[in-house]
Chain A
């Protein structure tokens, strides 16, 4: 059974701080890694994708991938109250469906 694990949180950070969200996965053959943001009562929204080891930056968001350690993370710089949501990690490999983690609830305190 392929697994994706995340701390459920809540992770609380003050406004303006860096929020660090972590995800580990069990399948070494995984090739694609995604971060989704889900506001309460809404559907998930894709915010980052990463396919190779290293960092990928998009605005205030940075995704980090380490395939050797089977670890992917999302950093949110200058966190805002509007970033308060649940963040879902999703992992996929060729010929495989996505496996979603349970999500980490982030709370940014004004």
Chain B
């Protein structure tokens, strides 16, 4: 079955540590997105990519980095520069900007 796989489901980060969240899709979608969701709040766009080897900053890109070396994969690195990374991270993909998103199951990141 086609879909988006995010891993891990839960992730714990120590102070000063970089961590990478995985996002893989087999839907053949060109566009991929990373969102952050804080408790009781909406989705905020971190980074997006419309095509392989190209990506753009979203509204809250500071402290995050991404790569898009393959169509299927769009990993997100949360760097030590992100001072408040505890949140629910959602990866999504879309066949086009006028189509709905398909979301992965999310990664819950906690700073310990």
Which residues of A line the B interface, CB within 8 A? 8, 31-32, 34, 42-46, 49, 51, 88, 90, 92, 94-98, 100-103
Contacts and interface: CB of A to CB of B under 8 A. Distances in A.
Given A42-B106, A43-B90, A97-B48, A34 B42 contact: no
A101 B43 CA distance: 8
Interface residues of B, number: 20
Contacts of A90: 100-101
Contact of A92 (B35, B40, B41, B97): B97
Contact of A102 (B33, B42, B99): B42
A49 B97 CA distance: 13
Contacts of A43: 90, 103-106
Interface of B: 33, 35, 40-43, 45, 48, 58, 90, 97-106
A96 B97 contact: yes
A102 B45 CA distance: 13
17 contacts: A31-B98, A32-B99, A42-B105, A42-B106, A43-B90, A43-B103, A43-B105, A43-B106, A44-B90, A46-B100, A90-B101, A92-B97, A92-B98, A97-B33, A101-B42, A102-B41, A102-B42
Contacts of A31: 98
Given A88-B43, A102-B41, A97 B58 contact: yes
